[in-house]
Amino acid sequence: MADNDRPDEPNRDESGEPNRDESGDDRGNQPPNPFEMLFGGSMGGPGGQPDFEAMMRQVQQMFGQLGASGGGMFGPQSDGSAKSWETVRDLARKVVQTKGQDPTPTHASRRQLGDAARIVEGWLDRHVDLPATNGRIQAWSRAEWVENTMPTWRRLIDPVASALADAMGSLADSQGDADPQNPIAGLEAMIRPMLRQTGSTVFHAQAAEAIGNLASSVVSATESTLPLDGEHCHTVALLPTNVEEFADGLEQDANDIWLILTLRESARQRLFAAAPWLSERLLSLVERYAHGITIDTSGLEEAMGEFESMTDLSQLQEMSEKLQGNLFAPRRTPEQDRVLAELETLLALIDGWVDDVTADVTGQWMPTAAPIVESLRRRRASSGPTEATFQALVGLELRPRRVRDAENLWAALREDGGAQRREAAWGHPDLLPGTHDLDDPLGFVRPDVEGSDDTPSVDAFDEELRKLLESEGDDGASPRDGDER
């Protein structure tokens, strides 16, 4: 290795003295600022022209420094390829390691989950008019959750990573046009690929950090309501380490907590299996939203200031927070507004259905379950890791605000025609309730009420809905209390 290539030696000028800034500080060991490096006009070659060979060496050195302590994340494959997503997976697992121990589920945990699954499947057979999936029952570590959800993450995130890379590439055009005397003017086409690479690299690092954080929180494969489990769909999977953390502070019996969490996961998997169009609809809506993402380039330049000094994994969170607040343009497009409204309604319908199934089952078999269900309701209503992850990676506020309304609608359908009528609405997308039906659940349950000459008053409407729901025995501890809106 040549002397001037040693990474532990300061850069020196032609006289052999270390380079210093105006304050006299030695800057030789500081990672280069990518924007200063590319746009500062400080890398002049012969005749005052940019020395692109020197530029490429410095960029390669910058990525090499980060890759040396970032698990190989920052290399030539950070472009959305299969190789780059392997490094996203590896880095997400490194983030998981920073969150504490992640042991392989023990035989006792697997047996506890298997016992809970056998019990709740028997309950669901009596209370749900959807067949059992006959899928596997698995206990996952956090690292296994990362592995099993990675293909779905790639599908959802790649459109945003591409938009960010395009925005980074456009910075070369704007910088080159800003000053005709700028040495890169007219040479943007040569610089644009490097900036695209930088943007893709930074976003994939943020994705890894967010996915690792979420893996350290979720208690089951589909707790987020989105089918992130990919090819493992219809598998009832819980994460024992996270279940134990959720149970800390709760006074309820551990077996009851396992039963409730397994019940809800099993119900969701039955629904996804019985309505095969549902998973694709959810993921397609997120994809459509992501494809409409616009990157705020002014915020991006500010956020990239963190990139110049990021040399190890511990700084990923700080960079991620910087990006989260500055990455996406502040205004959504009309198409994104429409997609978001449809997605929020669909998520509310799924969660509301699971809530009604849980209330129906526990009302007969687990009368002491109300405190656990209420804890889950508060967990969902809070701005937790799931919402933060999708806000950071897709710019999406993934919070179904009308779960209570949806639960009331499903309960009204069940009281009017049993579980068979409630589940019949999932037979086809056109049969599902819409947003306006959440405003008027009685009109959906008994459409003959609408259109009559004698339109019922608000009091009459409330009384009729109360009659439909009164058999639920709402005593103040029902999971319907605590509106999430």
117, 262 contact by CB (below 8 A): yes
Q: pLDDT for 214-254, tens place per residue?
A: 999 999 999 999 999 887 788 999 999 999 999 997 989 99
pLDDT (tens digit per residue) in 321-363: 555 555 677 678 899 999 999 999 999 999 999 999 999 999 9
| Alpha carbons 428 and 144: distance in angstroms, whole number | 33
Look-up: residue for tokens 């259905």?
Answer: 353
Q: Which residue has the tokens 């990675």?
A: 150
What are the C-alpha distances in Å from 25 to residues 20, 38, 306, 406? 5, 22, 20, 62
pLDDT score at 134: 87
pLDDT of residue 253: 94
Helices (runs of H) and strands (runs of E) counted in the chain: 18, 2
Average pLDDT of the chain, as a whole number: 76
- Give the model confidence (pLDDT) of 287-325 as tens digits: 999 888 887 776 666 655 555 555 555 555 565 555 555
Read off the DSSP letter of residue 236: E
The amino acid sitting at 133 is T
Banded pLDDT at 7 (limits 50, 70, 90): very low
Q: Is the dihedral of CA 246, 252, 257, 258 positive or negative?
A: positive
Confidence of residue 56 (pLDDT cuts 50, 70, 90): very low
Q: How far apart are CA 144 and CA 126, in angstroms?
A: 32
Instruction: List beta partners, residue 484.
Output: none
CA atoms within 13 Å, Cβ hemisphere of 97: 9
Angle, nearest 10°, between helix axes 385-394 and 188-215? 170
Q: Which range has the worst mean pLDDT, 122-126, 169-173, 344-348, 437-441?
A: 169-173
Tokens for 142, please give them.
């956090």
Helix (H/G/I), strand (E/B), else coil: 135: coil
Distance between CA atoms of residues 322 and 300, nearest Å: 9
Residue 265: which residues within 8 A CB-CB, separation 6 or more? 220, 221, 222, 223, 236, 237, 238
Which of the two residues, 385 and 389, has the higher pLDDT score?
Answer: 389
pLDDT bin (cut points 50, 70, 90) of residue 257 is very high
Q: Choose the most confident range, by mean pLDDT, from 84-88, 158-162, 369-373.
A: 369-373
pLDDT-derived band at 136 (thresholds 50, 70, 90) equals very high
What residues contact 51, with CB distance under 8 A and at least 6 apart?
A: 43, 44, 45
pLDDT for position 233: 82
For residue 435, give every residue at least 6 positions away whose Cβ sits within 8 Å of its Cβ, in sequence order, or none.
341, 345, 402
What values do phi and psi take at 38, rounded to 5? -85, -35
pLDDT of residue 299: 60
**Residue 91 predicted with pLDDT over 50:** yes
pLDDT of residue 481: 41
Query: How confident is the model over 439-473, as pLDDT tens digits?
Result: 998 899 988 764 434 444 445 555 656 656 565 55
- What pLDDT, on the 0 to 100 scale, is given for residue 461? 53
Most confident of 53-67, 93-107, 281-295, 398-412: 93-107
Average pLDDT for 90-117: 95
Report residue 160 as tokens.
Answer: 């945003």
Closest C-alpha to 403, from 363, 346, 446, 360: 346
Best CA proximity match to 296, nearest among 167, 159, 165, 160: 167
**Distance of alpha carbon 383 from alpha carbon 397, whole angstroms:** 10
Q: What is the pTM (predicted TM-score) of this model? A: 0.74
**475 neighbors 366 (Cβ within 8 angstroms):** no
Phi, psi (degrees; rounded to nearest 5) at 328: -95, 145
Q: What is the reported pLDDT for 447?
A: 85
Q: Is 348 exposed, middle or buried (0-12, 13-18, 19+ CB in 10 A)?
A: buried
Per residue in 139-149, pLDDT tens?
999 999 999 99
Q: How many CB atoms lie within 10 A of CB 21?
A: 9
Q: Where are the alpha helices (DSSP H) in 46-106?
A: 52-69, 82-98
Residue indicated by tokens 């049969």: 431
More confident residue, 385 or 35: 385
- Continuous segment of H or E residues that includes residue 139: strand 137-139
The CA angle 98-104-110, to the nearest 5 degrees, is 135
What distance in Å separates the CA atoms of residue 429 and residue 180, rounded to the nearest whole number?
A: 56
Is the model's pLDDT at 97 over the cut of 60?
yes
Residues 186-198 have a mean pLDDT of 63
Residue 375 burial (C-beta neighbours within 10 Å; 0-12, 13-18, 19+): middle
Give the whole-number percent of the chain exceeding pLDDT 70: 63
- Residue, of 385 and 188, whose pLDDT is higher: 385
Tell me how far apart the alpha carbons of residues 73 and 75 are, in angstroms, rounded to a whole number: 6
What percent of the chain shows pLDDT beyond 90?
45
Cα(272)–Cα(280) distance, integer angstroms: 10
Q: Average the pLDDT over 422-444 and give the result.
A: 93
